[in-house]
Chain A
């Protein structure tokens, strides 16, 4: 009896610590008469100045100095905000797409699309890719280091929208011209929705991703506009997030074939 109790206890601990991968609770199906949500992200006030980083390691590859422009605003319109439609359980497949980092960085977030997001992060020119992006949990993210130098991938997650307290998820070496897969497990991130990927050797290498559960997301473009299409009719919560500015929410009602305008405004300090 006592022995059995011990075994049960051990089994429980092992199960708690074991590799119990979560499953993306999203089903792909045909969307007929889906609606479309589109809008603009505006920014009021003064955008923070780009941050300047002297390059201490590997200047021959990374350059003598680098800037990180966290908030990119053109004519009062915010680029790179992530817009997420929450609560969609079934619908269109993930869309293949790619987003490049800001020059001189040549990194890219490449979303393979299809049944899952299939995110590849192509690191090049000491740059992971754009400042913002999305990812899904419990699916491997492939990191390809295309630089001839090593980077130290340090990924973090945060429960708060601005990433004020960051918890380390991964910390591993990305050797030159190699690839590595890392999975962001839901059991580890729990309710965290903000993920940061940094290089511990090059502090200017930083990107921020929002955890999505469906392909119903969009990133605002150079004109600050976004579009989410093929949305199954229903009532949802629409979020707009930027790692330096936080999170905004709207309730939206999508009707069959309906076109909805939804705009967000962020305010600078």
Chain B
């Protein structure tokens, strides 16, 4: 269910969106601005590289963000905002993500249900999340790529109670809409050194996800606790930076993205900030298939404030100070480049993996495995 935004949201959105729109509009003099923002600012580095490649009879090219049509020209499907588009080019994507969480843990130790029930009357036992993400990217000019992401989320969580009862709660609906701008910073390439590209990610998340999903519990129909909610309720600032590299048979990347909450939501709390660093390497085996390995590290803070409708003594998922944590996942993926159809470049990708380290302010449910699948087409 889409949540109507109050005036506070609108004011906070304006604070973030107006500067983004302003700088985007300025860059519409695209014939005048540089394709990449740092063109020319790295003169000594560029000259040094040029001298190096000249010895091999090569030329150094700057600012070329063209991504060749190859299976690994996009990052593994679990990575977003990994590439930019040329002016006028657009891409539509559909992604499906499933995350399975089972058992509780605190710190790096697993807890039994009995251990959780010794502290709380109710313990979550497992949770499944399905996300269907629709996204679009558009090359606004040679510097800026615009991106919009609309997730539809389904969640279900099973619980046990001290008396031995069991119950399940479910929620579903659209999550927070994310709008992002990707700014080309610098790109350099030559046959002997490969291709290296950097871009800046600046975006906002809008509070469109449902903050008060309701479902039946042993205490009757209740507002569900924090992990079952579909949005943050705040306007969030999404900064980041992305580096990608490529040689004829390999590609790789490193991306750092953050989520900074602005203010608190109408229920008096804000989710914790979170930070995500991901790094991958892909091998192109043929013109149409590549495989990848990726590490994803995520760190997220506890919440600020609390929703007064929840009793944090009842279940750990209602405690805003048991929400922080960090996790390192290892993922394996495969990308398929399909034959071009009516001028559309098509890709199907799958990626799956599991945490190899997780440390949470528990009791919290621990992540068992994650799988992504997606379809992308570019025109």
State the CA gap A197–B305 with chains docked (Å).
Answer: 58
State the CA gap A156–B65 with chains docked (Å).
Answer: 12
B148-178 contacts to A, CB under 8 A, are none
Interface string of B342-357 (1 = CB under 8 A from A): 0100000000000000
State the CA gap A154–B40 with chains docked (Å).
Answer: 18
Taking a contact as CB atoms under 8 Å apart, the answer to whether B59 and A187 are in contact is no
Instruction: Report A-chain residues with C-beta under 8 Å of the C-beta of B50.
Output: 164-165
What distance in Å separates the Cβ of A103 from its nearest Cβ neighbour in chain B? Answer: 25
Does residue A61 face the partner (Cβ distance < 8 Å to B)? no
Taking a contact as CB atoms under 8 Å apart, the answer to whether B29 and A19 are in contact is yes
Interface string of B284-323 (1 = CB under 8 A from A): 0001000000000000000000000000000000000000
Contact of B29 among A17, A56, A165, A166 (CB under 8 A): A17
Taking a contact as CB atoms under 8 Å apart, the answer to whether A164 and B86 are in contact is no
Q: Which of A34-42, A86-94, A168-176, A260-268 contacts B (4 or more CB under 8 A)?
A: A168-176
What class of interface size applies to chain B in its complex with A? 20 to 34
Taking a contact as CB atoms under 8 Å apart, the answer to whether B343 and A188 are in contact is no
9 nearest CB pairs, A to B: A168-B63, A17-B29, A200-B66, A166-B61, A165-B50, A168-B64, A168-B35, A171-B86, A167-B62
State whether A150 and B343 are in contact (beta carbons under 8 Å apart), knowing that A19-B31, A172-B88 are contacts in the complex. yes
Chain B interfacial positions (CB closer than 8 Å to A): 26-27, 29, 31-36, 39-40, 46-47, 50, 54, 59-66, 68-69, 86-89, 142, 187, 287, 343
State the CA gap A200–B47 with chains docked (Å).
Answer: 23
What distance in Å separates the Cβ of A146 from its nearest Cβ neighbour in chain B? Answer: 17
State the CA gap A230–B343 with chains docked (Å).
Answer: 49
Residue of A nearest to B57 (CB): A48
State the CA gap A40–B274 with chains docked (Å).
Answer: 68
State the CA gap A187–B29 with chains docked (Å).
Answer: 11
State whether A188 and B88 are in contact (beta carbons under 8 Å apart), knowing that A152-B66, A167-B39, A168-B63 are contacts in the complex. no
State whether A154 and B62 are in contact (beta carbons under 8 Å apart), knowing that A168-B35, A169-B35, A173-B89 are contacts in the complex. no
State whether A165 and B32 are in contact (beta carbons under 8 Å apart), knowing that A154-B66, A171-B86 are contacts in the complex. no
Interface size on A (CB < 8 Å)? Answer: 31
Taking a contact as CB atoms under 8 Å apart, the answer to whether A171 and B35 are in contact is yes
Contact of B26 among A14, A19, A150, A170 (CB under 8 A): A14
Interface string of A109-148 (1 = CB under 8 A from B): 0000000000000000000000000000000000000000
What distance in Å separates the Cβ of B284 from its nearest Cβ neighbour in chain A? Answer: 12
Contact of A200 among B35, B64, B87 (CB under 8 A): B64
Instruction: Report A-chain residues with C-beta under 8 Å of the C-beta of B29.
Output: 14, 17-19
Does residue A185 face the partner (Cβ distance < 8 Å to B)? yes
Instruction: Report B-chain residues with C-beta under 8 Å of the C-beta of A152.
Output: 66, 86
Chain A interfacial positions (CB closer than 8 Å to B): 13-14, 16-20, 56-57, 150, 152, 154, 156, 163-173, 175, 183, 185, 187-188, 200-201
What distance in Å separates the Cβ of A167 from its nearest Cβ neighbour in chain B? Answer: 5
Contact of B69 among A14, A19, A201 (CB under 8 A): A201
State the CA gap A173–B86 with chains docked (Å).
Answer: 8
Residue of B nearest to A20 (CB): B32
What distance in Å separates the Cβ of B26 from its nearest Cβ neighbour in chain A? Answer: 6
Instruction: Report A-chain residues with C-beta under 8 Å of the C-beta of B59.
Output: 163-166
What distance in Å separates the Cβ of A20 from its nearest Cβ neighbour in chain B? Answer: 7
Please list 20 pairs of residues, one from A and one from B, whose beta carbons are closer than 8 Å in the complex, sorted by A's number.
A13-B26, A14-B29, A18-B32, A19-B29, A19-B31, A152-B66, A154-B64, A165-B46, A165-B50, A165-B62, A166-B60, A166-B61, A167-B63, A168-B35, A168-B63, A168-B64, A170-B142, A171-B142, A172-B86, A200-B68
What distance in Å separates the Cβ of A5 from its nearest Cβ neighbour in chain B? Answer: 17
Instruction: Report B-chain residues with C-beta under 8 Å of the C-beta of A172.
Output: 86-88
Taking a contact as CB atoms under 8 Å apart, the answer to whether B32 and A185 are in contact is yes
Taking a contact as CB atoms under 8 Å apart, the answer to whether A19 and B64 are in contact is no
Instruction: Report A-chain residues with C-beta under 8 Å of the C-beta of B47.
Output: 165
What distance in Å separates the Cβ of B67 from its nearest Cβ neighbour in chain A? Answer: 9
Instruction: Report A-chain residues with C-beta under 8 Å of the C-beta of B68.
Output: 200-201
Taking a contact as CB atoms under 8 Å apart, the answer to whether B61 and A17 are in contact is no
What distance in Å separates the Cβ of B122 from its nearest Cβ neighbour in chain A? Answer: 56
Residue of A nearest to B31 (CB): A185
What distance in Å separates the Cβ of A153 from its nearest Cβ neighbour in chain B? Answer: 10
State the CA gap A47–B169 with chains docked (Å).
Answer: 77
What distance in Å separates the Cβ of A63 from its nearest Cβ neighbour in chain B? Answer: 18
State the CA gap A166–B26 with chains docked (Å).
Answer: 25
State whether A188 and B32 are in contact (beta carbons under 8 Å apart), knowing that A17-B27, A172-B86, A173-B89 are contacts in the complex. yes
Instruction: Report A-chain residues with C-beta under 8 Å of the C-beta of B287.
Output: 56
Residue of B nearest to A243 (CB): B59
Taking a contact as CB atoms under 8 Å apart, the answer to whether A156 and B61 are in contact is yes
Contact of B64 among A14, A171, A187 (CB under 8 A): A171
Contact of A164 among B33, B60, B66 (CB under 8 A): B60
Residue of A nearest to B25 (CB): A14
Residue of B nearest to A156 (CB): B61
Instruction: Report A-chain residues with C-beta under 8 Å of the C-beta of B69.
Output: 57, 201
**A172-B88, A173-B88 given; 17 more Cβ-contact pairs under 8 Å:** A17-B27, A17-B32, A154-B64, A163-B59, A165-B46, A167-B39, A167-B62, A167-B63, A168-B35, A168-B64, A168-B142, A171-B66, A171-B87, A183-B31, A188-B32, A200-B66, A201-B69
State the CA gap A183–B66 with chains docked (Å).
Answer: 19
Residue of A nearest to B27 (CB): A17
State the CA gap A225–B283 with chains docked (Å).
Answer: 51
Instruction: Report B-chain residues with C-beta under 8 Å of the C-beta of A57.
Output: 69
State the CA gap A201–B69 with chains docked (Å).
Answer: 8
State the CA gap A120–B61 with chains docked (Å).
Answer: 25
What distance in Å separates the Cβ of A45 from its nearest Cβ neighbour in chain B? Answer: 16
State the CA gap A165–B26 with chains docked (Å).
Answer: 27
Instruction: Report A-chain residues with C-beta under 8 Å of the C-beta of B46.
Output: 165
What distance in Å separates the Cβ of A82 from its nearest Cβ neighbour in chain B? Answer: 18
State the CA gap A192–B328 with chains docked (Å).
Answer: 48
